[in-house]
Amino acid sequence: MNADALLQACRAYAPAPDAFAGRVILVTGATAGIGRAVARDLVRHGATVILHGRKELALEELYQELKLLGPEPAVVQLDLERAQGPQYQSLTSEIEARYGRLDGILHNAAILGDRSPIEHYDIGLWQRVLLVNLTAPFILTRCLLPLLRKSADASVLFTTSSVGQRGRAYWGAYAVAKSGLEGLAEVLGDELENTQIRVNLINPGGTRTRMRARAFPAENPETVPTADSHTPAFLYLLGPASLNVRGQRVELRAPQPV
């Protein structure tokens, strides 16, 4: 499938009500923005979703909302900025004990950091952004690969940005982390080429989220697509419809600043 056909398939995807029945999928950063929208639609279409977030109250609110829409979700409170090996191992063990496998991961959690020049970028903040946006997805994927291998067909989907493909002034650690994330996805996808695990990247472009508002405070949010408008593409790449889609970088919009 060429890039144009893939983009069309992503945008036009309309999953059957039970398209994700029996599937177990982890969504990081599930309490807001794209993560919340995708998690909600996954549950609506039959998936058992493992909801990751940092704040207990936000996770509880999301859990209460989604349990009414489909299979009961699970909740994982994990601060990616502070988590250490035992927390990741505990998560892996809990998923294995409860479900026995994992059918997909959406790496969506991220922090923006500062819009400032490298010359003045705070060193501590730089380390935090790279830890959350790049190192944590690596650790999660590495720990969970044995459970992905137990799936008949598993999808690992990384959310990226246009600044991950070409860095721009003042995007600092965010751009560098997204560039590294794209490299991680390429290496992982190449290593898993002959397995049942497929790896892809998706760039939603500018989306009406809190992070977008912080990055572009003067922008009229009504001019930016909602997270809901992007969920068909995410579901396409996470589910069985994309069984033969591997090593692709899907651009949902023309290249945008974020």
**Catalytic residue numbers, as ranges:** 174
Beta strands in 84-182 (DSSP E): 104-107, 154-159
What tokens were used for 142?
Answer: 């590495």
The DSSP code for 106 is E
Q: Which residues of 182-202 are buried (b: 16+ CB within 10 A; e: fewer)?
A: bebbeebbeebeeeebbbbbb
By 3-state DSSP, what share of the chain in percent is helix, strand and coil, each rounded to 5? 50, 15, 40
Q: Are 202 and 157 in contact (CB under 8 A)?
A: yes
Contact predicate 157/200, CB 8 Å: yes
- CB within 8 A of 228, min separation 6: which ones? 37
Of 89, 195, 79, 174, the C-alpha closest to 130 is: 174
Instruction: Tell which residue, 141, 77, 78, 71, has the closest CA to residue 99.
Output: 71
- Render the burial of 79-113: b for 16+ CB within 10 Å, e for the rest: ebeebeeebbeebbeebeeebebbbbbbbbbbbbb
The span from the first CA to the last CA of the chain, in angstroms, equals 26
